[in-house]
Amino acid sequence: YKLPYRSSNVNASNWPDAQSTYEGAMSLWSTVMGHTNMIMHSFGWLEGGLRASFEKIVIDLEMVQTLMKTLEPVDFSEPELGIEAMRDVGPGGHFFGTQHTLERYETAFYEPVLSDWRNFETWEQDGAQDATQRAHKVYKQLLAEYEEPAMDPAIREELTGFIARRKAEGGATADD
């Protein structure tokens, strides 16, 4: 019918744990494979959307950014394929020092915010934190470093008035 539709990476877990991650990942993958037009509520949901978690926001951010990098179209242009670099290096050589590699290595792969790719010994010596613990640390750091963006005082006043009107109408308070 060619109608737009939305979906989400919903999960039923009560905590930002392995269950929330694998259920969210499978939901997100289904959403992408179904060519969803808009992904709603893709960050932080738990318990089917009844709860949210700052740690889950960080975990979902990592998952979505990784998937976005994975789904980038492959550039098959001659400069990107590196045919000239292959000719220059020849059989048995390596590409680490070629200009072609040096121009691309910093952006060729997704650099994770949360994943820990160190070996077991190094990870253990550094406190053996799991992904949820690392996500907790990341969100605390983000909040500590947050700087309120500049905003026209008239716009701020309008938004404050809107919030006050909605609260008066019986909506949930910001503290709930």
Percentage of the chain lying above the pLDDT 90 cut: 62
Q: Is the pTM of this model over 0.75?
A: yes
Q: What is the pLDDT of residues 151-169, one digit of tens each?
A: 999 999 999 999 999 989 9
Question: Distances from the Cα of 48 to the Cαs of 13, 28, 54, 91, in angstroms?
Answer: 7, 14, 16, 54
- The pLDDT of residue 2: 85
The DSSP code for 3 is -
pLDDT band at 170 (very low <50, low <70, confident <90, very high): confident
- What average pLDDT does range 3-12 have in this prediction? 90
- The pLDDT of residue 171: 63
pLDDT band at 96 (very low <50, low <70, confident <90, very high): confident
- The pLDDT of residue 79: 86
Task: Kindly tell me if the per-residue pLDDT of 173 is higher than 70.
Answer: no
Task: Kindly tell me if the per-residue pLDDT of 135 is higher than 90.
Answer: yes
pLDDT band at 39 (very low <50, low <70, confident <90, very high): confident
Instruction: Specify which of 27-31, 98-102, 125-129 reaches the highest per-range mean pLDDT.
Output: 125-129
Residue with tokens 């060729």: 108
d(Cα 155, Cα 132) in Å, to the nearest integer?
37
- What average pLDDT does range 110-135 have in this prediction? 95
56 CB-side CA count, 13 A: 29
